[in-house]
Amino acid sequence: MFRTRYTSIFGLALLMACQSTSTTESTDTPSETDAAQDTFMREGATVYFALTDRFNNGDPTNDESLGRQMNGAPLRSYLGGDLRGVIQKLEEGYFSDLGVNALWLTPPYENIHGYTNEGTGKTYGFHGYWPRDWTAIDANLGTMDDYRELVQKAHARGIRVILDVIINHTGPVTEADSQWPDSGVRTGPACTWEDPKRVIECTLVENLPDIRTESEEEVALPAFLVEKWKAEGRYEQEVAELDEFFAATGYPRAPKYYIIKWMIDYVKELGIDGFRIDTAKHTEASVWGSLYREAVKALEAWRKANPESPAATWDEEFYMVGEVYGYSLGHGLNYPYNDTASVNFYQEGFQAMINFDAKWAAKQPYETAFSAYNQMLPQGELTGLSTLNYLASHDDGGPFDKLREQPYLAANMLMLLPGAAQIYYGDESSRVLDASDLGADGDAHLRTPMNWEMIANNDSVAGEPVQEVLAYYQKLGQFRAAHPAVGAGVHQKMTDAPYTFSRTLADKDQVVVAIGEEIDEVSVAGVFADGVQVRDYFTGQAVTVADGKVVLPNYGPVVLLGED
């Protein structure tokens, strides 16, 4: 989508070497959150990312809100998924069964009402990245009460909620959607990518007005927004809150600070646990530092004001992960805009970067990938920080295994790579990322509806029953959830045959993993002492270490050993 300088971790590793399914309904009880509270570490989190409109339709009455119709190009209309549908899956235990401890949904706030054509046909803002009113939940997705309930029910299950933040741009201008005043946005020039100015002070695509984030000049609220708030009966309240925010912070009423205030409100009022930052490199890095500082204060205040929430006892800081398009683990702390200009986004409050390298790592032998990531994360430049690894996503046209022909390899790589793991909705159920049969074009291939019917029917994809693929992901996910060392620990290869490695997290947690065929015996010497009972999270059996090894009467294609 955007041009970038790309540095693969494997190139860096080579240089360094040369130099040296369950549908049981869950309940909101404290016992349900104990494991997640005790073991959560953001460095090894398991994040589930879903396009809300494509995930699950829990309320068909909102399917054609705000005058929208299902008349777009193939897979480019709103299709019915909503917050109520996500709540249903929370209640069913779907995310808990996968070991998910953080939930990232596409932006829930109100998007443009109309449609546009970026060259792939008539398209509505179903994806959430064309904002119109940051203060309201989009009617196609539900209500603010729905979002509040979703956050509460996620928290009751030990699941953190990540809000997708857009400050770079507004939505396109359409017959139904006015442009912000020129004092607040620019409509050109187009980005040309050769240096920071031409990546930041420019428009990403035609008809996507760019917020003037470099500006400290005060501007008035857009007239259409004032008119909307008045019609909804909340103008005075919104203006009073803005007055309070600007008086407390001392910020000028510049466009970026309006949006910062509106994003912070979700933390202040709902207890949002983290932000995923969209198009981070297309905005001055200092903007994210300002956003982060306000978020930290807001979350601390929310926890104090809501002692009855299980999330009030969580002691981790506010979480922020950035989409710096093209960032690779090999970039380390500094992302290069070109050969002479780079930025350390981690200095501006980010604890993690979305890692565009993982889909290439998945094509490497296990040890090549795991050891290279280990050199940068728990033992290297990014010690104490993290990356969010993915193999497929909503706007990466080159996903790993788009036809889902290697689901178990993909699962092993995604869930066992050092770092945090991003499950893109349908990774766990072999949702095919090719919709040519529906006439899809461009990123629509990546955004098909979640394949719930295929799961229910146990259909096969590339010869593999999807229920078996889902069960495989669930076992890996439960292992990650119980043992943060999987994602955050120090990696060490133990044996070649079967391929066996350990991950150790100081004196807090340790695991041993073996991958192969018909593994009935695994060496654990140096990790687990003789007499210690460990559990294989793949088969569920408990075994006792003897003579530096465990013998498994029942075995599968992977062994996942950890103490209960």
Tokens of 477: 């996910």
Dihedrals phi, psi of 103, to nearest 5 degrees: -120, 120
CA distance 101 to 120: 35
* Both structure tokens of 56: 């699950």
In contact, 52 and 88? CB cutoff 8 Å: no
Beta-carbon count within 10 A of 251 CB: 18
Do the bridges between strand 185-186 and strand 210-211 make them parallel or antiparallel, or are there none, so unpaired? Answer: antiparallel
Q: Is 278 a catalytic residue?
A: yes
Residue in 43, 133, 323, 427 annotated catalytic: 323
Phi, psi of 543 (to 5 degrees): -135, 155
First to last CA, the chain: 44
Count how many Cα atoms sit within 13 Å of the Cα of residue 349 in the half-sphere of its side chain: 22
DSSP result, 453-514: HHHHHT-EETTEEHHHHHHHHHHHHHHHHH-THHHHSEEEEEETTTEEEEEEETTTEEEEEE
Determine if the peptide bond prior to 60 is cis (ω within 30°).
Answer: no
Q: Compute φ and ψ for 413, nearest 5 degrees.
A: -65, -50
Alpha-carbon torsion, ordered 62, 66, 67, 71, to 10 deg: -60
Q: Two tokens at 76?
A: 């480019």
Contact 175, 114 (CB under 8 A): yes
Contact 257, 246 (CB under 8 A): yes
What is the C-alpha separation between 183 and 180, in angstroms, rounded?
8
Please tell me which residue in 53, 278, 284, 428 is annotated as part of the active site: 278
The token duo for 151 is 């956050």
**The one-letter amino acid at 274:** G
The Cα–Cα gap between 162 and 228 comes to: 27
Catalytic residue numbers read 278, 323
